[in-house]
Chain A
Amino acid sequence: MKRAISRFGLLRVVIFFGLLILVPILGGPVWLLNMLIFTVMYAALSSSWNLLGGLAGYPSLGHVAFFGIGAYAFAIMFQGSVGDGFSPFLALPVVGVAVALLSVPIGWVSMRTRADVFAIVTITFLFITQTLAFNLNSLTGGAQGKSVAPPPFDVSTYDWPFYYAMLALLAVAMGISFYFSRSKIGLSLATVRADEDKAHGVGVRVTAVKLIAFAVSSGMVAMVGCVWAYYVGFIYPQFAVDPLITIGMVLMAFLGGRGTLWGPVLGSFILVPAQEFFAQTFGASELYLLAYAAVFLVIMLFLPRGILPSISDRLRRRRLAAEGDARDAAQLSEVQDASKSPVTSEVAR
């Protein structure tokens, strides 16, 4: 585990966020900014999922439930008026913390189980939330959906606040991920992922770190849900608590590389534009779902560890091989220097 912030790493962050911040200012077609909002949104979701699914090895399939809870919280809070349009963003941390606290008992119950069963429990939690969104009519508007009051933003820069809010959330999610990977929490989560029983045995406070990861990850996802609801303006149970959003988070983290800082981001910047392309090509038709499933299967079968781990693995192997060659060559020349006889060098080989 690298502990120091490498200069290269810092440069990468500055360039990445610098470019993204500049995009709206430099201008560009409307569809670009719109697509970027969703790309950054998924990058933030996937990075948040990664805190639990990647670092702790608990593959939650129900995270969209927290996304939906955040979305509904915002829709309920701001159905009447949003003031100057910016004040709702100030409520984000409140919703985030509230959902994080709410998620603690849920995490405690569901993390009594491991891997497969945990995935089952979280997927069931997704359906619970969806059922509640449908059935608690007075609160959520049921199948009719719920709307957020439109903000009085200028038309030409209407998307900007949402875009920057998503970008800020992505920065926070990546910051937390980075902090985790450098702190004791990250180390404890890594032991949980490797072998929870042993970790518990040697005195790692497994329940505490698991719950921290679960709560932080859920709170982040909820905040992204808030901004999403505010942006789209109108939410229905089947869109706010859509299993495909869960799958999106998981898939992007898998594609880029679970448990890495940049993996989920890379996965989102590949998959969301690809998704957009599918939607353009196949329309909103069912072939879209089929194409999505096909991409999913291809990633699972051929890139199960993700792009970044595969690349770094290959690089490491190449470096090791190069080092090995160099060592062999050095030894060989030593042997040749010691005795000029070609026979010994042949043996040393």
Chain B
Amino acid sequence: MHALIQAIILGILTGGVYALMASGQTLIFGIMKVVNLAQGALVVLGAYLTYTLFTTLGIDPFVSILITTPLLFLVGIGLQWALLRPLHGEDVAQLSLLVTFAIALAIEGALSFAYGATLTNVQPTYANYSWTVFGYQISLVRFVAFLLSIVMLGVLYFILQRTKFGRSVRATVQNPMSAQLLGVNANRVSALGFGLGAATAAAAGSVFGMLNSFNPGSHYDLISRLLTIVVLGGLGSIGGSVVAALIMGVASSLVSALASPIWSDFTFFIVLLLVLLLRPRGLFGAKTRGAL
């Protein structure tokens, strides 16, 4: 019983970080109808930036978020502007998907060139500090990371619900054509949306770097988990992706505690399979023609 509850706590804390990564990805899908296969690579890029800032300038990983997030926001806008906007024609969705895969490969290549393939992680002095509450271990880093994810998700929610940009994003998600007719600049919304998605990846990346060992190839693990989460939550639904991230965090943590850590990744795939069999549009997904 103790192990069970401990696993659930760990799962919820981890799930919060996944929620942050996945919300960015599902946001990009909602706006541009593009499944961003580079989201995992952007997270790893964020982790490496944090690593460099920490090891060379001694900037605390949590503080470095203030630097990495705006930086990757700009990178995201640049990627959208240079590589995704020029695509046109009938196969846009397919081409965009492959282009994001190419971006992921390019980031992986650039990172391997700069840092090599060995596993690293970001180890601030408090990395192994943890509290004991009612006999359950709560790691400081995981807890702060969880809080941070909630704050970032709150910021994202605020941007989407309370700003003009957010309103145009929501309009684009609901109906791109009408949004454009009403004067929403689709290119601008797409670019900013991709930037926001990349920014969430940066924030999550800083945390990811403290919680896990990573190398440039880590984005494959990440992206397969993220894809499961966004499909489970329903593509394009941010709320859905948060719920799905928590579910998956707990599920994989339970499997790794009760069975074996090597099968924890497998939980994701089994869940994905079940979702596709029983409810292909996910928990909160809208039924859109052509996507599913």
A117, B235: Cβ atoms closer than 8 Å = yes
B98, A123: Cβ atoms closer than 8 Å = no
B112, A289: Cβ atoms closer than 8 Å = yes
B97 interfacial contact with A, CB 8 Å: yes
A126→B277 CA distance, assembly (Å): 18
B265, A127: Cβ atoms closer than 8 Å = yes
Residues of B within 8 A of A300 (CB): 87, 95, 98-99, 102
B-contacting 9-mer, from A179-187, A227-235, A291-299, A335-343: A291-299
Residues of B within 8 A of A127 (CB): 220-221, 224, 265, 269
Residues of A within 8 A of B94 (CB): 59, 115-116, 119
Query: Chain B nearest CB: distance from A240 CB in Å?
Result: 15
Across the interface, name the chain A residue whose C-beta is closest to B274.
A109
Whether A109 touches B276, Cβ cut-off 8 Å, given contacts A285-B113, A300-B95, A304-B91, is yes
A116, B97: Cβ atoms closer than 8 Å = yes
B291, A116: Cβ atoms closer than 8 Å = yes
Query: Chain B nearest CB: distance from A313 CB in Å?
Result: 12
Residues of A within 8 A of B78 (CB): none
B263, A135: Cβ atoms closer than 8 Å = yes
**What 0/1 readout, one digit per residue, does chain A (90-107) give for beta carbons within 8 Å of chain B?**
000000000000000000
A202 interfacial contact with B, CB 8 Å: no
A114, B273: Cβ atoms closer than 8 Å = no
A113, B280: Cβ atoms closer than 8 Å = yes
Residues of A within 8 A of B101 (CB): 61, 247, 296
A228→B103 CA distance, assembly (Å): 29
- What's the tally of chain A residues with a CB closer than 8 Å to chain B? 42
A117, B224: Cβ atoms closer than 8 Å = no
B179 interfacial contact with A, CB 8 Å: no
Residues of B within 8 A of A289 (CB): 105-106, 108-109, 112
Across the interface, name the chain B residue whose C-beta is closest to A125.
B269
Across the interface, name the chain A residue whose C-beta is closest to B88.
A304
Partner of A286, one of B35, B99, B112, B280: B112
A109→B275 CA distance, assembly (Å): 10
Across the interface, name the chain A residue whose C-beta is closest to B266.
A131
Partner of A290, one of B87, B98, B109: B109
**What 0/1 readout, one digit per residue, does chain A (246-278) give for beta carbons within 8 Å of chain B?**
010010001000000000000000000000000
Residues of A within 8 A of B138 (CB): none
B227, A296: Cβ atoms closer than 8 Å = no
A247, B269: Cβ atoms closer than 8 Å = no
Residues of B within 8 A of A297 (CB): 83, 99, 102-103, 106
Whether A131 touches B269, Cβ cut-off 8 Å, given contacts A116-B97, A301-B86, is yes
A287, B276: Cβ atoms closer than 8 Å = no
Query: Chain A nearest CB: distance from B93 CB in Å?
Result: 5
Whether A116 touches B87, Cβ cut-off 8 Å, given contacts A124-B227, A124-B228, is no
B133 interfacial contact with A, CB 8 Å: no
B89 interfacial contact with A, CB 8 Å: yes
A296, B98: Cβ atoms closer than 8 Å = yes
Partner of B224, one of A109, A124, A247, A288: A124
Query: Chain A nearest CB: distance from B101 CB in Å?
Result: 7
Whether A286 touches B109, Cβ cut-off 8 Å, given contacts A110-B276, A124-B227, A135-B263, is yes
**What 0/1 readout, one digit per residue, does chain B (263-286) give for beta carbons within 8 Å of chain A?**
101101100110011001000000
A346→B86 CA distance, assembly (Å): 43
**What 0/1 readout, one digit per residue, does chain A (185-203) give for beta carbons within 8 Å of chain B?**
0000000000001000000
User: Which among A59, A109, A285, A286 has the greatest number of chain B C-beta atoms within 10 A?
Assistant: A286
Partner of B291, one of A114, A124, A128, A243: A114
Residues of B within 8 A of A61 (CB): 101
Whether A113 touches B102, Cβ cut-off 8 Å, given contacts A124-B269, A290-B110, A300-B95, is no
Whether A247 touches B93, Cβ cut-off 8 Å, given contacts A116-B35, A121-B272, A301-B87, is no
A117→B231 CA distance, assembly (Å): 8
Query: Chain B nearest CB: distance from A173 CB in Å?
Result: 22
A204 interfacial contact with B, CB 8 Å: no
**What 0/1 readout, one digit per residue, does chain B (221-244) give for beta carbons within 8 Å of chain A?**
101100110010001000000000
B289 interfacial contact with A, CB 8 Å: yes
A131, B35: Cβ atoms closer than 8 Å = no
Partner of B290, one of A114, A123, A292: A114
User: Which among A61, A197, A297 has the greatest number of chain B C-beta atoms within 10 A?
Assistant: A297
Query: Chain B nearest CB: distance from A177 CB in Å?
Result: 20
A134→B220 CA distance, assembly (Å): 15
- Besides A116-B34, A116-B97, A297-B106, 5 new A-B residue pairs in contact (Cβ under 8 A), listed by A number: A113-B280, A117-B231, A254-B98, A296-B98, A296-B102
Q: A residues bordering B, Cβ < 8 Å?
A: 59, 61, 109-110, 112-117, 119-121, 123-125, 127-128, 131, 134-135, 197, 243, 247, 250, 254, 285-294, 296-297, 300-301, 304-305
20 contacts between A and B (CB under 8 A): A112-B280, A113-B280, A113-B292, A115-B290, A116-B29, A116-B35, A116-B97, A117-B231, A121-B276, A124-B272, A128-B266, A128-B269, A131-B269, A286-B113, A287-B113, A289-B105, A289-B108, A289-B109, A290-B113, A296-B102
